[in-house]
Chain A
């Protein structure tokens, strides 16, 4: 399993209801269903991913998260997860609000735009950072709302969102001891567990 999903699955309690926003090919939900008996649903718009979910027996609903989650009832899920998609949303702040409305707890992961490599790229090349991990150029990137860990935590303070856990990992999605020295400089992806 992808290393970040391995970290996330440890934060999810057995026999709970989980909604995975932009669930991809359903890897996390398939694991949680088999190993923890969760009742899981994924939202996804990519056709191949939807078929992949169905092949795995994962509940998947074709829905564009950018159109909102109004059809889902308040507090109807124990955990709402969104991995690596926050920065692709038209209004990440509104999505986080919606996640906290329908879920008792939320787990979000996103890339850190203040990672030293991105800072170096922008500072010395004067161009928008392109890397193996984020291979897009500015005009075709789906990542339209990059932020830094500090930006996200400021949003949490402003919106009265409580951060329960935070793990910061490198681009291989692994937890490294040295990242803790200066996460906003050294960490590439953060995994937050939040509630309100």
Chain B
């Protein structure tokens, strides 16, 4: 998922006076402009676009140590480290990326981007449409996971990365990693698909539709042209976030965290939030609604709904995956009901049937879908063990070129 992951599930990291030793430290995002037109699945063409990225670690001389991190629904390029000493929290996957962590920046060059259609600096609905001079808003093309992968290929070319050591993603990020393995089999050695699925179920799509309806029915939405009105469909976005958030947690996790605790300790016989879980959800929705763009949220949920790599192969997932050349690690979490272990098993079974190298682990966790962002001993140990194998593929050429982007 998720840069806005619940503070109280992920241990709140108050910025210490010094950066922790296992952090990538202070990082600065960087914008890369692309002038080669990008043809999209919807039939439209983006003549030019920006991708905003962050990188951690140093790219080696033959670019054999590069790891691509793909973000999920509401994610962005800030995966690890801090932007300033005042930051209260590090990047969204800081638990897994850094010196000595599973994705060890002492040996890997890690690149994370904000996808097209995003609202954290890459070209998206909030960007100016060169044809009109106004923000794209709802006119920004519907982008798909395939489109994202095509744009990420350009990014790899920009850095001279012919083959990623690994592409890693959770949830919607895992779907991008999977799409890479099918569309560009020669360009990655390992593919890590975490808490993900080979396509969405009707139930998944249904939840996304509730989120979209909440946004588009908000009177402040103005058919997506809310920027001109200088308003934000806050209520709709908050509702969308609240319903999404419920699907990220597990029943057990919510019971453990909130139970039926009441803020005032007794029933108030009115409709104000009184159970802890109500105020928690309202807080999460409120916070998200001021930090995220509604049009981007609509786009991201569509990319999820449309993802179905098997559809290009007569709906035969085994046939789709038969193109892959990389090794796979698939990880699921026991209480994840958004993309349950059964969904990961569909992928694993298809990979085995296709004769691909694959390992699969089902991690015990009470944290539901959010578990993929929360470090637990077994998860981190397994992740690190796999990345050790990935590192064996790095060429050991002694001379290293200083990465221009890590300055």
CA–CA, A118 to B197, complex, Å? Answer: 50
Q: Which residue of B lies closest to A43 (CB)?
A: B360
> Are A51 and B349 also in contact (CB < 8 A) when A17-B355, A59-B357, A59-B358 are?
no
Q: Min CB distance, A61 to chain B, in Å? A: 5
> Are A71 and B345 also in contact (CB < 8 A) when A51-B385, A54-B389 are?
yes
Tell me which residues from 51 to 104 in chain A have a Cβ below 8 Å from any Cβ of chain B: 51, 53-55, 57-63, 71-73, 76
Give 5 A-B pairs besides A61-B348, A61-B352, A71-B349 with Cβ atoms closer than 8 angstroms: A17-B355, A41-B358, A54-B382, A54-B385, A72-B352
When the two chains form their complex, are residues A72 and B349 in contact, meaning their CB atoms are under 8 A apart?
Answer: yes
> Are A61 and B382 also in contact (CB < 8 A) when A55-B389, A71-B349 are?
no
When the two chains form their complex, are residues B378 and A41 in contact, meaning their CB atoms are under 8 A apart?
Answer: no
Q: Which of B348, B349, B382, B389 contacts A50 (CB 8 A)?
A: B382
Q: Min CB distance, B341 to chain A, in Å? A: 9
Number of A-B contacts (CB under 8 A): 46
Please name all residues of chain B whose beta carbon is closer than 8 Å to the beta carbon of A17 when the two chains form the complex.
Answer: 355
> Are A50 and B361 also in contact (CB < 8 A) when A55-B388, A55-B389, A61-B348 are?
yes
Q: How many residues on B have C-beta within 8 angstroms of the other chain's C-beta atoms?
A: 21
When the two chains form their complex, are residues B353 and A54 in contact, meaning their CB atoms are under 8 A apart?
Answer: no
Q: Which residue of B lies closest to A42 (CB)?
A: B359
Q: Min CB distance, A80 to chain B, in Å? A: 13
Q: Min CB distance, B357 to chain A, in Å? A: 6
Using a CB–CB cutoff of 8 Å, the interface residues on chain A facing chain B are: 17, 39, 41, 47, 50-51, 53-55, 57-63, 71-73, 76
> Are A53 and B352 also in contact (CB < 8 A) when A47-B378, A71-B345 are?
no
Q: Which residue of A lies closest to B341 (CB)?
A: A62
Please name all residues of chain B whose beta carbon is closer than 8 Å to the beta carbon of A62 when the two chains form the complex.
Answer: 360-362
CA–CA, A63 to B357, complex, Å? Answer: 16
When the two chains form their complex, are residues B385 and A55 in contact, meaning their CB atoms are under 8 A apart?
Answer: yes
Q: Min CB distance, B152 to chain A, in Å? A: 26
Please name all residues of chain A whose beta carbon is closer than 8 Å to the beta carbon of B348 when the two chains form the complex.
Answer: 61
CA–CA, A110 to B26, complex, Å? Answer: 58
When the two chains form their complex, are residues B353 and A59 in contact, meaning their CB atoms are under 8 A apart?
Answer: no
> What are 11 A-B pairs with beta-carbon distances under 8 A?
A47-B378, A50-B382, A54-B359, A54-B385, A55-B389, A57-B392, A59-B359, A61-B359, A62-B361, A71-B349, A72-B349
Instruction: Determine whether B402 belongs to the interface, using a CB cutoff of 8 Å to chain A.
Output: no
Q: Which 3 A-B pairs have the closest CB atoms?
A: A61-B360, A71-B349, A54-B385
> Are A57 and B389 also in contact (CB < 8 A) when A41-B352, A47-B378 are?
yes
Q: Min CB distance, A30 to chain B, in Å? A: 12
Q: Which of B355, B378, B389 contacts A39 (CB 8 A)?
A: B355
Please name all residues of chain A whose beta carbon is closer than 8 Å to the beta carbon of B388 when the two chains form the complex.
Answer: 55
Instruction: Determine whether B381 belongs to the interface, using a CB cutoff of 8 Å to chain A.
Output: yes
Q: Min CB distance, B289 to chain A, in Å? A: 39
CA–CA, A47 to B360, complex, Å? Answer: 11
Q: Which of B353, B358, B378 contacts A73 (CB 8 A)?
A: B353
CA–CA, A71 to B353, complex, Å? Answer: 10
When the two chains form their complex, are residues B381 and A51 in contact, meaning their CB atoms are under 8 A apart?
Answer: yes
Instruction: Determine whether B226 belongs to the interface, using a CB cutoff of 8 Å to chain A.
Output: no
Please name all residues of chain A whose beta carbon is closer than 8 Å to the beta carbon of B386 when the two chains form the complex.
Answer: 54
CA–CA, A98 to B159, complex, Å? Answer: 50
CA–CA, A58 to B385, complex, Å? Answer: 12
Please name all residues of chain A whose beta carbon is closer than 8 Å to the beta carbon of B360 when the two chains form the complex.
Answer: 60-63
CA–CA, A41 to B352, complex, Å? Answer: 8
CA–CA, A59 to B357, complex, Å? Answer: 6
CA–CA, A17 to B392, complex, Å? Answer: 24
Q: Min CB distance, B336 to chain A, in Å? A: 14
CA–CA, A191 to B381, complex, Å? Answer: 35
Please name all residues of chain B whose beta carbon is closer than 8 Å to the beta carbon of A51 when the two chains form the complex.
Answer: 378, 381-382, 385
CA–CA, A55 to B353, complex, Å? Answer: 23
Please name all residues of chain A whose beta carbon is closer than 8 Å to the beta carbon of B353 when the two chains form the complex.
Answer: 73, 76
Q: Which residue of B lies closest to A39 (CB)?
A: B355
CA–CA, A41 to B382, complex, Å? Answer: 17
Q: Which residue of A lies closest to B355 (CB)?
A: A39
Please name all residues of chain A whose beta carbon is closer than 8 Å to the beta carbon of B357 when the two chains form the complex.
Answer: 59
When the two chains form their complex, are residues B359 and A53 in contact, meaning their CB atoms are under 8 A apart?
Answer: yes
CA–CA, A63 to B361, complex, Å? Answer: 9
Q: Which residue of B lies closest to A41 (CB)?
A: B352
- Residue among A39, A47, A76 with the highest chain B CB neighbour number at 10 A: A47
When the two chains form their complex, are residues B359 and A60 in contact, meaning their CB atoms are under 8 A apart?
Answer: yes
When the two chains form their complex, are residues A61 and B385 in contact, meaning their CB atoms are under 8 A apart?
Answer: no
CA–CA, A187 to B269, complex, Å? Answer: 76
